[in-house]
Structure 1
Amino acid sequence: MITCIAVDDEPLALRQIVSYIEKTPFLQLSAKFSNATLVKEYLKNNEVDLLFLDINMPDLSGMELAKSLENPPKIIFTTAYSDYAIEGYKVNAVDYLLKPIEYQDFLLASTKAEVLIKKERLLKTEIKKTGDYLFIKSGAKHIRINFNDIEYLEAQKEYVYIYLINSGEPVKTLIRLKNIEEVVPKGNFMRIHRSFIVNLNHIVTVERNRIIYSDKRFIVVSDTYLNQFKEFISNNFYN
């Protein structure tokens, strides 16, 4: 079952999406909202698989909400305007539905999301953690990776790139960053951006709010994680 949220400030449009969700056997409605700000609060304490999100809403738009979420669920945008496709692509939306929405189009987009979500669930079971290392699937291979060899991890769309110490090419795996975050040792790794988790043991140079790995490789710590990172620096580096 795919759990989902419906969000639209127009009552009729919200009722339609809710009715479509209830009509679809593999979808389960977790909540419905007419305000995007309330969605953000809900997601802090509740996990859902899929978000049906209207773009044009007052106070906080659907697009602004999507960009602000650190670990967003899959998103299907709903909109009365046809000029948001490129923006939707930038936040990795599964699809976007143009109002008025026909059930056939809704079902097609939902099925696409279901395939992606089920694939991620299967991949999550393929991360095998044992002591100081894990086995992870990369293409047709299963690769053993020692936690201490990981320099940092980067999320790019559906993939995570695992950068290793003294290794030129990262290990690429089809999985969400959140799934790996759940298995790496909490005391040694820190999320410092929605797309990056770093191994704290391998941080050598910090310049302003950037972790420097080389002349061409650095990571900017995002505002969301800045206070946590500054606390780490304060406790481990001389001022």
Structure 2
Amino acid sequence: MIRAIALDDEILALRIIENYADKIENLTLEKVFNKQSDAQKHLNKFPVDLIFLDIEMPAKNGLDFYKNISQNTKVIFTTAYSEYAVDAFSVNAVDYLLKPFSFERFKTAVEKVKSNTENNDAKHLSIRADYKLHKINFNDIQLIEGLDDYIQIHLKDSTKITARSSMKSILEKLSEKDFVRVHRSFIVPVNDIKTIVNKNIHIGDFIIPIGETYKEEVMKNLNR
């Protein structure tokens, strides 16, 4: 299921998107917004997979709004202005719908999201941080650490990427067979768990405690 929101300063445009979205299976349009501040508040609390986003708006340009979203959210731009197409795809937009667009054109754009969700990033984690979209190979992840409203991805080359996300949200983007949550603050690659001493996992220079809540899941992954 693709969870989506729409942001456009034109109410009629939002109504059209709502109407089209209702006709597509596995797409849930959770909210629509005509103010960027309201959309941002929602995104801060409820991560979504996709945003239908207008570009020309009274406050901040839609492109700039999208660049400031810290979570890994795909975007389909919906605009009356063709001159933004190049800029839109430079931020990895899934598609660019030029108003007025038909239901078939809308459906085609959503199908691209579905295809990307199913086939792309099968061995990668895509996450937005530092105003950039990072595509991280699963094999390069040493561990993921939770820091309040942020997560820190420790890479095997000793670099770190910090992004706004919950541990629950980031775990949903990872492969179940490749990663396991071992503590409320740690997610580790299953195949890198080589040694457990006194309920601690040793990975590289890190010593990670196994939380009591996660002990059974850890052992299940080690024994499969």
Normalising by structure 1, report the TM-score.
0.55
Residue in 1 aligned with 2:56?
A: 56
Residue in 1 aligned with 2:78?
A: 78
Residue in 2 aligned with 1:44?
A: 44
Against the structure 1 CA distance between its residues 190 and 113, is the aligned structure 2 distance closer, same or farther, given a 3 Å change threshold? closer
Query: 1:45: how far off?
Result: 0.7
Residue in 2 aligned with 1:165?
A: none
Against the structure 1 CA distance between its residues 156 and 115, is the aligned structure 2 distance closer, same or farther, given a 3 Å change threshold? farther
Q: Structure 1, residues 54-85: CA drift from partner, whole Å, max 9, x if none?
A: 11111122111101111241100000010111
Q: How do 1:147-166 residues align onto structure 2 when only pairs under 5 Å count?
A: 159-160=135-136
The question of 1:112 aligning with 2:112 is answered yes
**One-letter amino acid of the structure 2 residue matched with residue 100 of structure 1:** P
Query: 1:35: how far off?
Result: 1.1
Alpha-carbon distance in structure 2 between the residues aligned to 1:155 and 1:43: 16
Residue in 2 aligned with 1:138?
A: none
Query: 1:118: how far off?
Result: 2.8
Residue in 2 aligned with 1:33?
A: 33
Alpha-carbon distance in structure 2 between the residues aligned to 1:15 and 1:5: 12
CA contact (8 A) 2:145 2:151 kept: no
Alpha-carbon distance in structure 1 between the residues aligned to 2:7 and 2:92: 18
Moved beyond 6 Å, runs of 4+ = 153-156
CA contact (8 A) 1:37 1:60 kept: no
CA contact (8 A) 1:158 1:174 kept: no
Unaligned runs of 5+ in 2: 165-224
Higher RCO (C-alpha 8 Å, min separation 6): 2
CA contact (8 A) 1:7 1:32 kept: yes
Unaligned runs of 5+ in 1: 128-152, 161-172, 192-196, 204-210, 212-218, 225-239
